[in-house]
Amino acid sequence: MTFRPAPFDVVAASQRVWSERWDPSATSGNAVFTAIVRSQQMLMHQVAEVMRSHELTFPRYEVLTWLAAEPGSSLTLGWISEVLRIPAATVTNLVDRLVADGLVVRVPHPLDARTTLAEITDQGRDLAERTTADLNDSVYRTLALDEDERAQLLRLLESLRANGGEFDVERSAERIARLDANVGTTS
């Protein structure tokens, strides 16, 4: 389906209607929500076009890129579930599809016989790299905001997510530092 611009600014119209007919004190919250949803739809359409050209879905791509970024090229399915915030059964289905396509293999965990690892293959790594290059060229570099606007929006969305309980604020910096420490090392 081709993404077509709306005939008018839906967020501005929603603000007007919300203020006049529903609850003026909730108007700005409704406008923020509507603006985020509309922006997400627009951006996901652009991302979906790139995914389609590589015969991927965005969730399968996310699994591949996390595996490609991992120094040992393998992660537990539980870790993938936690980080992507999707149910374990969904991760199992995603990994099954990636395995069927030759992009990932399942391997036993070297220290825990109860745990299975997903490990990226050379074909999977190549696809992740090509898809990422296309996303960078088609969506991320061309995003309709300059660098200062992007930084401002990220700060605002981080505050929204932190205040809304989307992530563990107390442990976030420590966990990110541990991720940073692993980049470029071998396991």
Which pLDDT score is estimated for 2? 66
β-partners of residue 104 are 120
Q: Is residue 27 part of a domain?
A: yes
CATH number where 106 lies:
1.10.10.10
Which strands make up the sheet holding 104-108, listed edge to edge?
Answer: 74-76, 116-120, 104-108
Whole-angstrom Cα distance, residue 69 to residue 25?
44
Instruction: Find tokens 């991760």 and name the residue.
Output: 91
Geometric angle at alpha carbon 38, from 35 and 42, rounded to 5°: 135
Q: Provide the greatest CA pair distance for the chain.
A: 62
Q: Do the Cβ atoms of 107 and 73 come closer than 8 Å? A: no
Q: At 150, is the pLDDT very low, low, confident or very high (cuts 50, 70, 90)?
A: very high
Number of structural domains in the chain? 2
Is the pLDDT at 180 greater than 80, yes or no? no
What tokens does 137 get?
Answer: 């060229």
Q: What is the pLDDT of residue 182?
A: 59
117 and 70 in a common domain = yes
Instruction: Please report whether residue 119 resides in a domain.
Output: yes
Q: Which tokens sit at 26?
A: 């909730």
Find the domain containing 10 and state its range.
1-53
Whether residues 41 and 91 fall in one domain: no
User: Same domain for 62 and 127?
Assistant: yes
pLDDT, average across residues 35-48? 94
Query: Quick one: average pLDDT of 45-61?
Result: 96
In a domain, 13, yes or no: yes
Quick: pLDDT tens for 84-118: 999 999 999 999 999 999 999 999 888 888 888 99
Question: Which pLDDT score is estimated for 184?
Answer: 40
User: Residues of the chain with pLDDT > 70: what percent?
Assistant: 94
Which residue in 78, 84, 71, 82 sits closest to 120, CA to CA?
A: 71
Which stretch of 11-15, 52-56, 146-150 has the lowest confidence by average pLDDT?
11-15
Spatial distance between the Cα atoms of 36 and 23, rounded to a whole number of angstroms: 20
pLDDT tens track for 158-173 = 999 999 998 888 888 8
Minimum mean pLDDT among 61-70, 146-155, 170-179: which range? 170-179
pLDDT-derived band at 185 (thresholds 50, 70, 90) equals: very low
Predicted TM-score (pTM) of this structure = 0.82
> Using CA atoms, how far apart are residues 130 and 81, in angstroms rounded to an integer?
24
When comparing pLDDT for 128 and 116, which is higher? 128
Among 144, 142, 123, 145, which residue's Cα sits nearest to residue 134? 142
Mean pLDDT of 111-127: 91
User: 21 and 90: one domain?
Assistant: no
Q: How far apart are CA 10 and CA 36, in angstroms?
A: 12
Is 124 inside any structural domain? yes
10, 38 contact by CB (below 8 A):
yes
The answer to whether residue 145 sits within a structural domain is no
